[in-house]
A and B are shown apart, each in its own frame.
Chain A
Amino acid sequence: MIQHIIKRLLLLPVLLLIFSIFAFIIIQAPPGDFVTSYIAELASSGSSMDQVQIDALRAQYGLDQPIYTQYGKWMSRILRGDLGVSLDWQKPIKELITERLVLTLIIGLMTFFLSWVLAVPIGIVSAVKKYSLLDYGLTVFNYIGIATPSFLVALIAMWLAFSWFGVSVTGLFSAEFVDAPWSMARVGDLLKHLWLPVLILTLSGTARLARIMRANLLDELNKPYVEMARAKGMSEWKLIMKYPVRVAINPLVSTIGWFLPLIFSGSLVVATVLNLPTIGPMFLRSLTNQDMFLAGAIVLIYCMLAIIGTLISDILLAWLDPRIRMES
């Protein structure tokens, strides 16, 4: 078990190295750099810069050096915990991102837990009551949940809230709390706004997980050991919860590996629609403004979250399933 986890942990830096190179290439890919778009912005507002100033600006941000030097500098700074300065916001990236990252994580984790809390019972009920009206309804719900992109759900929710109650459901804070320092009142205000994005993101996740849970459990319910327990006179409810559900939940744990990263990066689109102060909308803005250090930092954070997701599912699986534990 411990060996298994150590093996996984040793792989982590290798993956991070590959991903960081990848992230850097991507942000370097657009033609021109931040200075080019900065000059264009200046030109559109009527002012301009001479070549000396431009060169000075490039030198200041190290944009005049070859790519591998830039990567080396970027990486060594990140390893020392310094994410650099956002060219667009003119602020240290750490300062910009921290609160947004925390909010992203809160939304992501809440979505994750709510999806599980809903999906497992839904899966169990529709497998046990196979072909009942309830199962039929839940299956339809699952199909629609999978087919509807979450940003559409967000748009529809926004429209319904507006046309029925006349309220705008965007943002995570009421106007008076947006820039306020953290306090109990602000946390309360956050909780008041948090439920809708979480619910929207939960919909598709629940649908996917419930479908897998139902299929897994159906496979188990016909097995002889279930028959055996039943023949021995075990109460049906206890039997199902104790044996087949525990087996059926195993493959579901292995979905954490892709489900957790999917929530974090998938929330990006919903966050843009609902104008949430998470890292998603900031990432989009940094991409369009070619704010490469910020974009690179956020891509790297997304990669980290993905790796952590896989790691958690690996550890959980090894802990749950002795076959995997023994293998290593």
Chain B
Amino acid sequence: MAEPQEPQPSFGQKVLENMQTASAVSYKPMVRVDEDAALAPVGAAQDAEAFYVAPNWKLVWWRFRKHRLAMISGLVMIFITIIALAPDFFATQNPHTTNALESFIPVQRIHFFDERRLSPFVFGATGQRNPKSLRVEWVIDESVKIPVRFFAPGYPYKLLGVIPTNIHLVGVAPTEEQAAAKEAAGSSTAAGPQRISQGLHLMGTDRLGRDQWSRLMFGTRVSLSIGLVAVAVSTILGIFLGGISGYFGGTIDMIVQRTIEILQSLPAIPIWLALSAALPRTWSVEQTYFAITIILALLAWTTLAREIRGRFLTLRDEDFIIAAKLSGCSQQRVIFRHMAPTMSSHIIAAVTLAIPVMIINETFLSFLGLGLRPPAISWGVLLQEAQNLQSIALAPWLLLPGLVVIITVLALNILGDGLRDAADPYTS
């Protein structure tokens, strides 16, 4: 669909409009159609018609599109999802590979221009053994340039678990002398007391010399998916229990509502901790992963169930539902043809807002050592490396995964708010 430019309000105003939480945005459908040429490709006369015959999802999309910040957040989330789907492609080396000699290498920033020529490179790192602590300490050495290429070959893997390849987004450009040097002395070369790292560490390395950038890519997969799975479980529980509660009413409603009240008055964080501590230490990574999602979902479904029940109750008395009932629609048709489509956008918005909460919960559980445990990699497990002052003082880049957590949670929150505001195109 062609999208003619509409006169935009100032950026600040726009941003604020997007950020607003509640019903303060006042839209009057008629006025909006007149003002807003972007609604339909054709003239204003047909706009009104387009507006009235548009299906619900289209109305939601039109309204959502106006939230510029929510749109940007949506793009950020698409990007993060792509990383979660194919972390191997974005990683530069195997996230589990340890190299005790290359611990705590600082961040190597990519420089795109080498003497005004487009030729990306990073400065190498040299390590010197500290005579007191006997630890190799690495500093960025501006005399060593390591050429970097995009779509460079690296360790072999299967893209999306199917296509075997060895192409990665970035990698060290293969040169002959380097290959020879690598063969001779592993990835770092020792020259007297000095070592020179030939590796590429976009976010530095951790205590065990593992590449943090690659670990972060894999952690993204785990943390994002745990958020999604936990929310999916609680959505199913919420729709089921909230639905029957709102639909049947009476005793069932009473029981479900009391259960929700009790669960909601439980202090979630200590209960989560106690439950995760109860997981046997001998469980495999996959078992712990699913146990943690279930634990998170167990207390979280209540909010969604309440939301859905409330929707059900308000919708039940809406004119168009009564009309559908009066014109003889079957129970099933009323629910699936008339109620479900109207509710779906609300549910999607509520679910989107629930995901960041889950991500934060998983992160702090793993951070405290009670959630996922190494060798599993998640954002929380990564941040565990930065748990005490000594490691932060020594290697502040270990805090970088926290930045990714903040960006993701921020994007999901703004996206969810945008969806929630857009979910009801008729509200004024």
Binding site for B on A (CB under 8 A): 15, 18-19, 22-23, 26-27, 29-31, 130-131, 133, 135-136, 139-140, 143-144, 146-149, 151-152, 155-156, 158-159, 162-163, 168, 170, 211-212, 214-216, 218-219, 222, 258, 261, 264-266, 268-269, 272-273, 283-284, 287-288, 295, 298-299, 302-303, 305-307, 310
Contacts and interface: CB of A to CB of B under 8 A. Distances in A.
B53 interface: no
A302 B392 CA distance: 31
B299 to A, nearest CB: 11
Contacts of B383: 152, 155
Interface residues of B, number: 49
Given A139-B16, A156-B402, A287 B393 contact: no
B19 A139 contact: yes
Q: Most chain-A Cβ atoms within 10 A of its Cβ — which of B368, B396, B405?
A: B368
A152 to B, nearest CB: 5
A92 B152 CA distance: 63
Contacts, number: 141
B265 A273 contact: no
A144 B12 contact: no
B307 to A, nearest CB: 15
A168 B383 CA distance: 19
B21 A302 contact: no
Given A148-B406, A156-B399, A162-B389, A261 B370 contact: no
A239 to B, nearest CB: 19
Given A168-B389, A269-B364, A149 B265 contact: no
A205 to B, nearest CB: 14
A299 B270 contact: yes
Interface in B1-56: 12-13, 15-16, 19-24, 26
B250 interface: no
Interface string B376-390: 000000010011010
B413 A268 contact: no
Given A147-B356, A272-B368, A130 B277 contact: no
Interface string B389-410: 1001100100100100110011
Given A149-B360, A155-B386, A265-B267, A133 B12 contact: yes
Contacts of B393: 159, 162-163
Interface string B331-364: 0000000000000000000000000100010011
A302 B270 contact: yes
Contacts of A214: 21
Nearest to A290: B277
Given A133-B12, A159-B399, A143 B387 contact: no
Interface of B: 12-13, 15-16, 19-24, 26, 262, 264-271, 273-275, 277-278, 280, 356, 360, 363-364, 367-370, 383, 386-387, 389, 392-393, 396, 399, 402, 405-406, 409-410, 413-414
Contacts of A170: 389
Contacts of A156: 399, 402
Nearest to B22: A215
The B interface is mostly helix, strand or loop, or mixed, namely helix
Given A151-B364, A159-B393, A168-B389, A310 B273 contact: no
B193 to A, nearest CB: 28
Nearest to B408: A147
B410 A26 contact: no
Contacts of A158: 389, 392
Given A29-B275, A302-B270, A303-B266, A143 B16 contact: no
Nearest to A287: B277
Given A143-B410, A155-B392, A310-B265, A269 B368 contact: yes
Contacts of B402: 152, 155-156
22 contacts: A18-B262, A29-B275, A30-B277, A143-B410, A143-B413, A147-B410, A148-B406, A149-B360, A156-B399, A162-B393, A212-B21, A215-B21, A218-B22, A222-B26, A258-B264, A264-B267, A265-B270, A269-B367, A283-B273, A284-B368, A287-B274, A306-B266
B399 A295 contact: no
A18 B265 CA distance: 11
